[in-house]
Amino acid sequence: MSTRSNILITGASSGLGAGMARLFAARGRNLALCARRTDKLDALKAELEQAHPGITVLVKPLDVNHYDQVFDVFRAFRTELGSLDRIIVNAGMGKGQPLGTGYFHANRQTAETNFVAALAQCEAAMEIFRAQNNGHLVVISSMSAVRGMRKNINTYAATKAGVASLAEGLRMEMIGKPITVSTLYPGYIRSEINEKVEKAPFMVDTETGCKALVRAIEKEPAKAYVPSWPWAPLGFAMKVLPLSLVKKMT
């Protein structure tokens, strides 16, 4: 397997995106980083270039809900770097309230950002990879995608199940071709998306979680639960247990 030298990460201004960027930079990879908050992106670029002067770090503003902009930014990164070897579809949000409680606007925003915008990112990535006849697409799903979830994460879980299905369909299509598709299912990793969650089982800090994500991504698996312990066995249990028991676990 050749080294994926040029890596694009969406939602890279903070949290898991920024954490993965730091770890890939330490491995000598060139980075194409995009997010809405350009001040944080610029600060991250300066930090990485100072720590790792041998790499190239490009940054561009991107709101993934501006779908045409997704294609423009991805294409521009490819032109500037010459190729994109790995694209990590990471941008997302965690707003949500129980269905029927008057917060359709929040649930819709989560659905559009986590699924429709992810579709745009996958489309833009695959356009590039098909032209190159090579590449590694990484879709960040969630452990909540394994089964339907309740209350505030109902819509979030549904969107993450949707992107996992999207990735699996692509993976099937790419069998025997030099384009790899990986789906990652993170458990509870502390980041901005869950900073207000006070109690969550098996929560790990951002650095620990990002190290596990990068280790998994580098192996280019079809899918991976991250961190593998305890989420791999828990994922199996969540798939087979009755909903009444899954409810008690979540």
CA dihedral of residues 96, 98, 101, 107 (deg, nearest 10): 30
Provide the residue ranges of all domains of the chain, joining segments of one domain with +.
6-249
pTM score, whole prediction? 0.93
Print pLDDT tens along the chain (250 aa): 568 999 999 999 999 999 999 999 999 999 999 999 999 999 999 999 999 999 999 999 999 999 999 999 999 999 999 999 999 999 999 889 999 999 999 999 999 999 999 999 999 999 999 999 999 999 999 999 988 788 999 999 999 999 999 999 999 999 999 999 999 999 888 766 545 555 666 778 889 999 999 999 999 999 999 988 877 877 777 777 777 777 776 6
3-state helix, strand, coil in the chain (%, to 5): 55, 15, 30
The residues assigned a catalytic role are 156
Q: What is the pLDDT of residue 9?
A: 98
Q: And the tokens for 220?
A: 């280019």
> Would you state the pLDDT for residue 235?
77
CA gap 152, 99 in Å, rounded:
8
| Amino acid occupying residue 231 | W
CATH code of the region 6-249: 3.40.50.720
Pairwise CA distance, residues 47 & 174, whole Å: 37
Cα dist from 164 to 45, 48, 83, 87, 142, whole Å: 30, 31, 25, 15, 9
pLDDT at 236: 76
The CB density around residue 177, as the number of other CB atoms within 10 Å, is: 11
Residue 60 CB coordination number (10 Å): 18
Cα(11)–Cα(160) distance, rounded to whole angstroms?
Answer: 16
